[in-house]
Amino acid sequence: MRFLPVNTRSVMVELPDLEQTLALLAALQAEPLAGIEELIPAARTLLVHFCPYTTSASELARAIACRELTAAALQSGPEIIVPVRYCGEDLPQVAEHLGLSVADTIRRHTEHVWQVAFTGFAPGFAYMVSQSGIHVPRRSTPRTRIPPGAVALAGEFSGIYPRESPGGWQLIGETPLKMWDLQRETPALLTPGARVRFVDEARQSTSVSVALKPDAVCDEEPARAPAMTVITPGLLTLFQDDGRAGQAALGVSPSGAMDSAALHRANRIVGNAPGTACLEITCGGLRTRVHQQLVIAVTGAPCLLEVCNANGQRFNAASEQPVALEPGDEITLRAGQQGVRSYLALRGGFVTKPVLGSSAFDTLAQLGPAPLKAADRIYAAANPTQAVQPEEKSAPWLPGEGDVVTLDVVPGPRTDWFDAQALTLLASQPWLVTPQSNRIGLRLSGEQPLSRCVSAELPSEGTCTGAIQVPASGQPVLFLKDRPLTGGYPVIGAVADYHLDLAGQIPPGAVIRFRILASFGEITR
């Protein structure tokens, strides 16, 4: 085993192959170690998230290294028949790479049982292995759009895209089955251990029925008067809370508020529990009409909160303070010059429809209450509250366009995949935040790209929020809250946890400088 640093609360265990990776996963699940919060298996690695107040990376490395990898690597699950129309754009190239005809390639894909080894990338995306001998590289240039239901190959794995997304796998066909459906008892159709038989639709007609929940998702509104009605939602207004940690087995990343401290601060001001769902407003623009007496607070990116009462009188309300509203008021949040995201908390909380235990909307997975739109009604909850109070501490500085932001970075886990100058270059040159940035990640642009010294294809492995992934272009992507659970490009380092809130508030046009905290090296045990 190799133990590689990831960030201040994660370590990656690298093993020789998938079988040993799954054996270690089984061993740690059977006898958990104190402090481990979540395990994310991948092709040849196990990403271990831990609580730094309970244990440390070195302590975990010593304990994990002693484990005997004798547990059953993969339990056998249910068999699922997946009908496929073999019409993928890459099928002829895949056949040529394998030295087979297209018909023989289809035959090899269908005559072997595939088993789900682990999940990742997106909710419902399963990495399946078999004894077929199929092994193909990813595409040199990923597609920007792959349709849902696309059946694909990469390395030793077969997978099915659960929703429209970018991707670099080789497309060989398509299936009508839904890989992810919240109305099913288990939303993911393919879970670890499941055995999959692909059937060529041209040869056999197949149908699959999956039991739905008796209490399928309901879109009915509460039988009460709304607290507010949305007039204009702004660029993007979402419900966010602390996210849905612990759902890695379904391929679901935590998501949650981009600036957790601002979310907690807004809730404390109005007397809510810190993790209560708030509205996350991107670049201002939200305008609502108030129907009840309410108390709100706005934190995060400073913005002008304008109130117009029923008599047409206008006044401005301060951020970071409780604000009392009356029926007939209209409130407007106007974009400021610093930061990106503001948080609006409502005393007592909002009525939301949690998905997998959270009201956070994940823009990559499309999970959670939908983004607000004009004419949406917002309802007030009656959660327990404490006294309303102004925030005692001043709000932290947030960057604006053109400002320079310094972020601390922990090298790893794949720093040694880059040449000797890459880490120096990462820290020495400024990185411009481009307009293509979003909740998934900040896309950065530097004058000199980062060069790799290892040209091999990286098997998919777990990622963390703050990971600095480097694609073939050499221009980094800084993963944020809606990141994929696994990725196939090397990560040169990860932003320290205490700078993640700041990273979530960096606007396009700002410049990032990375400060390396330590030299790269395997974790000692």
> How would CATH label the architecture of 2-65?
2-Layer Sandwich (3.30)
Per-residue three-class SS string for 201-242: CCCCCCCCCCCECCCCCCCCCCCCCCCEEEEECCCEEEEECC
Retrieve residue 97's tokens.
Answer: 């790479």
CATH number, domain 404-516: 2.40.100.10
H-type helices in 314-382, by residue range?
A: none
The DSSP H or E segment spanning 306 is strand 304-308
Per-residue three-class SS string for 236-250: EEEEECCCCCCCHHH
Where along the chain do its domains lie?
Answer: 2-65, 79-200, 228-378, 404-516
pLDDT exceeds 60 at position 419: yes
Pairing of strands 404-411, 511-516: parallel
Please tell me if the domain spanning 2-65 has the same topology as the one spanning 404-516. no
Retrieve residue 276's tokens.
Answer: 């209560």
For residue 481, the SS3 value is coil
pLDDT > 90 fraction of the chain, expressed in percent and rounded: 79
Q: Render pLDDT for 26-52 as a digit per residue (tens, 0 to 9).
A: 899 989 999 999 999 999 999 999 999
- Peptide bond before residue 430 is cis, with ω within 30 degrees of 0: no
The DSSP H or E segment spanning 80 is strand 79-84
Confidence of residue 75 (pLDDT cuts 50, 70, 90): low
Alpha-carbon span 35 to 28, nearest angstrom: 12
Confidence of residue 217 (pLDDT cuts 50, 70, 90): very low
Contact 129, 119 (CB under 8 A): no
Retrieve residue 187's tokens.
Answer: 């939303």
From the CB of residue 261, how many other CB atoms can be counted at a distance below 10 Å? 20
pLDDT > 70 fraction of the chain, expressed in percent and rounded: 95
Alpha-carbon span 139 to 213, nearest angstrom: 38
Please tell us whether the domain made up of 79-200 is placed in CATH 2.102.10.10.
Answer: no
Q: Render pLDDT for 363-415 as a digit per residue (tens, 0 to 9).
A: 988 899 999 999 999 999 999 999 998 766 778 999 999 999 999 999 999 99
Alpha-carbon span 84 to 161, nearest angstrom: 13
Contact 45, 464 (CB under 8 A): no
Alpha-carbon span 148 to 179, nearest angstrom: 9
Alpha-carbon span 368 to 370, nearest angstrom: 6
The class of domain 228-378 in CATH terms is: mainly beta
pLDDT exceeds 80 at position 197: yes
